[in-house]
Structure 1
Amino acid sequence: MHICFISSEYPLWKSGGVGSFLQTFSGALVKFGHKVSIVGIGDKPVEEQLDDKGVKIYRLPVSTVPIGKFLFNTNSISKKIEFINQESPVDIVESAELGLAFIKKNPSIKYVIRLHGGHHFFAESENRKVHWWQGFKEKLSFKKADGFVAVSQFVKSHTAKYLSYSNKPIEVIYSPINTELFSPRTSIKKQVNNITFVGTICEKKGVRQLIMAMKLIANKFPDIKLNIYGREWYYKDGSSYTEMLRKKYKDIVDEYVTFHGAIPFEELPEKYALANVCVFPSHMETQGLVAQEAMAMQKPVVFSTLGPGKESIKDYETGLLCNPHDIYDIAEKVIWFLDNEDKQLTIVRKAREFVLNTFNVNTSVDKNILFYQRLIEV
């Protein structure tokens, strides 16, 4: 089977949850004998073609058109997919929520949207109105899809509040975790005062609340430190979210927080291994990968009660859940882990077992291929 993904995100040049998923999932598909192409817009005036262990990646020239960039980019992607299809027939084209809006469909190909969290989905959690243009594109994209894959029960049900699946096939399939890469590193000694966060440094990831909670944690553990790994996020005016945090919470940041910036994907396991507790107080997720990565490494994880949190963690059995808007609750859960080192071992072992059973790469590939095949046979 030949699957073509539409995405401009991939760990070789840009960190992020969708890119991490694509690298893990695409690599597994190739190992199982399938062909994978990834088409997206690059950042150079010429096309780049890359090969990541059998995954063919096409980074198309960035648009120089001042108006209508989305249409220009979509047209470029459509042409490239058609070219790839002529060389090696494509069975499935898959994109995130907005990706199919203006794609030119080929009747011999089935088109799938994977629900990673679209414009409608995140509007509520970010307390903003749905933008008419983004909303229009998303609705148009959904109409073009032949089927949907949801990465959690929550994203399936929550998206359905705003957009229609039009009775088309939809299945919940959790995104896989590379449990070989993210496995316990017994050779690395954890740092007892190390609290670790991984993810985009933005409001919806709960970074601000976590920083505020550090002052409360430090009241009991004065040597505690928060290590933040992740890419920067910018406001519309171009200002940095991280710089806002540095200025607004200067006393806390100077004393307890280190921003490390984005790091290569393959270096993440070492950073998790150094942590005593990993904290991800996200305001909203579709599934989230960082919590499961840390759990796979047998690290104590504090995750969010919101969104799919309860699908990922059973409170006080495989980790802890916190209210991400409540800095006292965040601090309380982190302190519980720090106070209960003896209970950590049982929890982290159950956590890894849960990830191995629920986010297994082989199981994920099997479920996805079966879903693709059912679409093709319709």
Structure 2
Amino acid sequence: MHICFLTNEYPRHGIAHGGIGSFLKVFCPALVRSGHKVSVINGTTGPREIIQIEGVTIIYTPFSRTKGLGWYLNNRAVDREIEILNKETPIDILEGSEMSFSFVTKRKNIVYLIRLHGGHNFFAEGEKREVSKWKSFQEKRSFKKADCFIGVSDYVVKHTSKFLPLGSKPVQVIKNPINLTVFEENGFDKIDPYNLVFAGTIVEKKGIRQLCEAIPKVLSKFPQVKLNVYGRDWKDSKGNSYLKKLMGTIPDKVKPQIVFHGPVNQQQLPEVFRTAHVCVFPSHVETLGLVALEAMATGRAVIYTKEGPGPEVIEDGVSGWLCDPFNPEDIADKIIEVLSDEKEMKRRALEGLKKVKTEFDIETILADNIIFYLKMIKSNK
């Protein structure tokens, strides 16, 4: 098969990327190793360039910065790349996220597949903010061109379908894989006692404010606690820093116990988790939550959100802890519970590790994707 992915965030050294980039970095090379041709059309602000990384062909397509017309010019550029690529080596599967197909040409003999990572409508609902008519229009247009869908969780499929009807088109839930060669099991002897770790963008929807508000109660029980925060600052459309706003809400006596380290890359993240006593991710809204799974893969205790797909990731009381991400008291109680019972902390951490190894291994998930791809190609002929 020849599978082509449309994205703007295929990981490249020195350039930040999000969850889709992390998924593609694991998934695309695995497809190549299994004997398939993989191409990626990736928007860039730099010049056009074609490179190979781990057997994956990445076509960097220059994007326009022209105000008002940028969206049109950029989609034309992507469409041209698809046309060139399809003539050279016919594409079997064209995969993108929710808006990817809005303005690309629908071509015969290519299966258009949308992987539901969480689009505009999904996050607007989750964050209780206004839906952009323009972005919603693009998603609806893109969905009409899709032949089939893969959702990264049951939750993202159910909630996306509330706003964007999937109709009778094939839909399958296939969760994202974890790179178990990068996120390896660590012994409990590597733990730095009372080290709390948060990794993610410093923004309201990740629950970092509520986590910081939980720290005073935790400190009253365990004064040795330190919260280490790893992630980039989020800035609004006016350039206002969320981190600066957050720092203004943290009591002076608590500030020494909360350290903001800035962003880390995928190679540094396993080391961050290695020394954690417990990893805490009280997200308000997620499509799946790779960071929680990555922490579990290192053999660490994880407190995750009870909202959205949280119960799909962690079985509360078995493979970790689920918290109310809007309630600092509950977050604090869960942290105290972990720190108070070493035996239970280790038991759930090991159960979480077992869950990741059995349910999120790349080989298992790769096979599920290939079966679905082949089925869709066959039905498209």
Cα deviation digits, residues 279-329 of structure 1 (max 9, x gap): 000001111101111111110000000001111111111000000000000
Question: What is residue 25 of structure 2 aligned with on the other side?
Answer: 23
Checking the alignment, whether the CA contact within 8 Å between 1:15 and 1:265 is kept in structure 2 is: no
**1:290-329 alignment, distance < 5 Å:** 290-329=291-330
Cα distance 1:213–1:119, how it changes in 2: closer, same or farther (>3 A)?
same
> Cα distance, 1:252 vs. partner?
6.2
Tell me the equivalent position of 1:113.
114
Residue 176 of structure 1 aligns to a residue whose secondary structure is coil
1: CA distance between counterparts of 2:85 and 2:251? 52
State the 4+ residue runs in structure 1 displaced beyond 4 angstroms: none
For residue 361 of structure 2, what is the aligned residue in structure 1? 360
Question: What does residue range 320-359 of structure 1 map to in structure 2 within 5 Å?
Answer: 320-359=321-360
Shift of 1:156: 0.8
Aligned to 1:35: 37
Query: What percentage of residue pairs aligned between the two structures are identical?
Result: 43
> Which letter maps to 1:112?
L
Q: Which moved more, 1:327-336 or 1:261-270?
A: 261-270
**Secondary structure, counterpart of 1:261 in structure 2:** coil
For 2:2 and 2:157, the matched residues in 1 are separated by: 26
Amino acid at match of 2:23: F
Distance 1:117 1:21 in 2: 13
Partner amino acid for 2:258? V
Asked if 2 retains the 8 angstrom alpha-carbon contact of 1:26 and 1:55, the reply is yes
SS in 2 for 1:29: helix
Q: Which residue of 2 aligns with 1:2?
A: 2
Q: After the TM superposition, which of the residue ranges 101-110 and 315-324 deviates more from structure 2?
A: 101-110
Of stretches 76-85 and 48-57 in structure 1, the one that deviates more from structure 2 is 48-57
Judged with a 3 Å threshold, the aligned counterparts in structure 2 of structure 1 residues 266 and 189 are, in CA distance, closer, same or farther, namely same
Counterpart position of 1:67: 68
Q: Which runs of 5+ in 1 are unaligned?
A: none
Distance 1:175 1:252, change over 3 A: farther
Contact residue 188 and residue 273 of structure 1 kept, 8 A = no
Aligned equivalents of 2:96 and 2:250: distance in 1? 38
Whole-angstrom distance in 2 between the partners of 1:168 and 1:218: 52
Give aligned pairs, total. 377
Indicate if the aligned counterparts of 1:2 and 1:91 stay in contact, CA closer than 8 A.
yes
Secondary structure (helix, strand or coil) at the match of 2:144 reads helix
Greater mean alpha carbon deviation, residues 54-63 or residues 92-101? 54-63
Displacement of 1:177 in angstroms is 0.5
The SS at the match of 1:181 is coil
DSSP 3-state at the match of 2:227: strand
The Cα of 1:188 is off from its aligned counterpart by: 7.3
The answer (yes or no) to whether the contact 1:150–1:172 under 8 Å persists in 2 is: yes
Partner of 1:254: 255
Distance 2:251 2:10 in 1: 33
CA distance in 2 between partners of 1:155 and 1:235 (Å): 25
Match of 2:58 in 1: 57
* Consecutive unaligned residues in structure 2, runs of 5 or more: none
Aligned partner of residue 267 in structure 2, secondary structure: helix
1:270 aligns to 2:271 (yes or no): yes
Deviation readout 1:6-51 (Å, 9 max, x if unpaired): 111133222321110110111211111111111121132x123332
State the Cα deviation string for residues 229-275 of structure 1 (Å, max 9, x = none): 12221111111111211223252662221112221211111111011
* Inter-partner Cα distance in structure 1 for 2:53 and 2:253: 41
- SS of the residue corresponding to residue 105 of structure 1 reads coil
Q: Aligned partners of 1:100 and 1:188: how far apart in 2? A: 49
Aligned to 2:248, what secondary structure does the other structure show?
helix
Alignment deviations for residues 52-104 of structure 1 (CA, whole Å, 9 cap, x no partner): 21112222213132212112111111111221222222111111111111111
Q: Which residue of 2 aligns with 1:162?
A: 163
- 1:211 CA drift (Å): 1.1
- Gap change, CA 1:11 and 1:230, over 3 Å in 2: farther
Which has the higher mean CA deviation after the structures are superposed, 57-66 or 220-229?
Answer: 57-66
Q: Give the letter for the 2:261 counterpart.
A: H
Does structure 2 retain, via aligned residues, the 8 Å contact 1:9–1:19?
yes
Name the counterpart of 1:133: 134
CA contact (8 A) 1:246 1:253 kept: no
TM-score in terms of structure 2 length:
0.96
Provide, for residues 172-217 of structure 1, a one-character-per-residue CA deviation record: whole Å limited to 9, x for no partner. Answer: 0011011121111349722112111111111111111111111211
